[in-house]
Amino acid sequence: MPSTPAAPSVTDAAIADAAARLAEASRSRTPCPPVRDLIGTTDIAAAYAVQQRLVADQIASGRTVVGRKIGLTSEAVQQQLGVDRPDFGVLLDDMAYDAGEPIPVRCFLQPKIEAEIGFVLKADLDGDISDDAVEAAVGEVCVALEIVDSRIRNWDISFGDTVADNASSGGYVLGERRVSLAEFTPVEAAMELTRDGEVVSTGTGAACLGDPLAALAWLATTARDLGEPLRAGQVVLSGALGPMVPVAAGDTFVATVPGLGSVTAPFSLEEDA
Segments of 158-217 assigned E as strands: 169-174, 190-195, 198-204
**From 66-80, 121-135, 161-175, 255-269, the region with the lowest mean pLDDT:** 66-80
Which pLDDT value is given to residue 2?
A: 40
Separation between Cα atoms, residue 34 and residue 20, nearest integer Å: 12
Beta-carbon contacts of residue 226 (< 8 Å; ≥ 6 apart): 3, 4, 48
pLDDT of 105 > 50? The answer is yes
pLDDT of 123 > 90? The answer is yes
Of 207, 196, 223, 209, nearest in space to 257 by CA: 207
pLDDT tier at 129, thresholds 50, 70, 90: very high
Rounded to the nearest 10 degrees, how much is the dihedral formed by the CA atoms of 191, 151, 15, 89?
A: -20
- Contact status, residue 221 vs residue 129, Cβ threshold 8 Å: yes
pLDDT of 43 > 80? The answer is yes
Give the bridge partners for 174, in sequence order: 144
Which pLDDT value is given to residue 270?
A: 65
Note the pLDDT tens digit of each residue in 170-192: 999 999 999 999 999 999 999 99
Note the pLDDT tens digit of each residue in 51-80: 999 999 999 999 999 999 999 988 767 776
pLDDT of 259 > 60? The answer is yes
Domain 65-272 has CATH 3.40.50.1370: no
Q: What are phi and psi of 243, to 5 degrees?
A: -60, 145
First to last CA, the chain: 44
